[in-house]
Amino acid sequence: MTEDCIFCRIARGELGTPFVAESEHNVAFRDLAPQAPIHVLVVPRRHMTALQDAVPGHADVVADALTLATEVARQAGLLESGYRVITNDGPDAGQTVPHLHFHVLGGATLQAGLG
């Protein structure tokens, strides 16, 4: 299953996607279709379909992902201006890639509202 997963393949380095940051459990790379001046995805190295598959068994991976998301924001100079970290879980949320990922968005005033 994970052999065909695009984010598993990226995390394994198979597609040559440059990482802007990485940690023990996660990698971070730029989104293919950015929705803000800074749009980075933080992706667990281990395949998990969505957030509900990660907790509670892999809370360490989630904590590591949020820590890396903050590191990405720091590297991008967003700590003062602000940034948003979101994950989509399932169809109503608009998840399109079934491998857990956190979007890190910033570099401009983001749209108000989350729903």
Residues of this chain that bind Zn ion (CB under 5 A): 2, 5, 7-8, 47, 99
What is the side-by-side strand order in the sheet with 102-106? 21-22, 26-30, 38-44, 102-106, 83-86
Rg (the chain; Cα; Å): 13
- Cα 21 from Cα 106, distance rounded (Å): 16
In the complex, minimum distance from the CB of residue 71 to ligand 5GP, in angstroms, rounded to a whole number: 18
Residue 94 near ligand 5GP by CB under 6 A? yes
Indicate the SS3 state at residue 106: strand
Q: Is 101 marked active-site?
A: yes
List binders of ligand 5GP among 63-82 (CB under 6 A): none
Q: Among 25-33, 56-64, 66-74, 75-83, which window interacts with ligand 5GP (CB under 6 A)? A: 25-33
The tokens 């299953």 sit on which residue?
1
Enter the tokens of residue 112.
């108000």
Name which of 96 and 109 has its Cβ closer to Zn ion: 96
What residues are annotated to the active site?
101
Binding residues (CB under 6 A) for ligand 5GP: these are: 6, 17, 29-33, 41, 88, 94-97
